[in-house]
Amino acid sequence: MKLVHTFITGLLEANTYIVDLDGKNSLIVDAGGNEDEIISFLNEKNLVPQAVVLTHGHFDHIAALSGFKKSFPDIKIMIHSDDAFLIGANALKNQCRMFAGSGLEPYIEQCARYVPEADVLLKHGDVLFADSENFKGGFSIIHTPGHSQGSICLYNKAVGILFSGDTLFKNSWGRTDFEGGNESLLFESLKTLLELPNETIVRPGHGNHTVIGSEQGLLQY
C-alpha cells in the first residue's frame, strides 16, 4: 500500500504530499497549488485530510490553502510560529515585500491574495498524529531555520521518512538570500538532519527524493 502520494504543484513545481495516516485520515504536507486535482484525489480515495502542515510559509508552498480550507472546513492549518506572518490577513503584503524584485509578483499575488490564518502554531519537538496506524509514533517537528526563520521538517522514525521542505534537497540545500534566510543557521540545520539514520527517506519541497546516507558529503563542499 502506497502511504505517500506526491503532487508537483504550481509554477515553481513545489512538492505537495498526501500522507495516508490510517486508510481513512490523511495529512497534507505543503500546499503548493493544484488544489482541484488534490481534492479530487482525496475524495476518490476517501482520505479525509486532518491537517495541512507547512514546512515554511513561502508563497510557492501556500497557494492551495484557501481551496483546502473551503473543501475541508475542519482541516487544521499548521505552521511554525516564526513563519506565521506569511499566511493569514497580511500574507500578500508580507510576501510581496519579501520577494520584491523577483519578477514573480503576479504569481505571488495569485498565491497569496486569499490565505487563511493558521489554526496551530508549531514549535520544535511537537509530535503530530502520534496514534497514526501507518506511521507509528507520529511525526516529530524539527525546527530547521535557515531557508526561512520558521522552516521545519517532519520526521517519522518508525517508517524512516523525513519531509524536509526547502532545507534539504537531493544533492543540495535551500537558498538563504530571502528575508529571514541565514546561511549559518541553515548549515546547522543540515548538520542536525544528517545525524538521522542513513536509510531515512527524504521527501523534499522540490525535486526528487533521496536518502540521508546519500547526502552525507553535502557539507564538505
Domains of the chain: 4-220 (3.60.15.10)
Residue pair 138/161 in contact by the 8 Å Cβ criterion: no
pTM for the model stands at 0.97
Confidence of residue 221 (pLDDT cuts 50, 70, 90): low
Query: Going by C-beta distance under 8 Å and a sequence separation of 6 or more, which residues neighbour residue 218?
Result: 168, 171, 172, 173, 190, 194
pLDDT digits (tens, 9 = 90+) for 16-58: 999 999 999 999 999 999 999 999 999 999 999 999 999 999 9
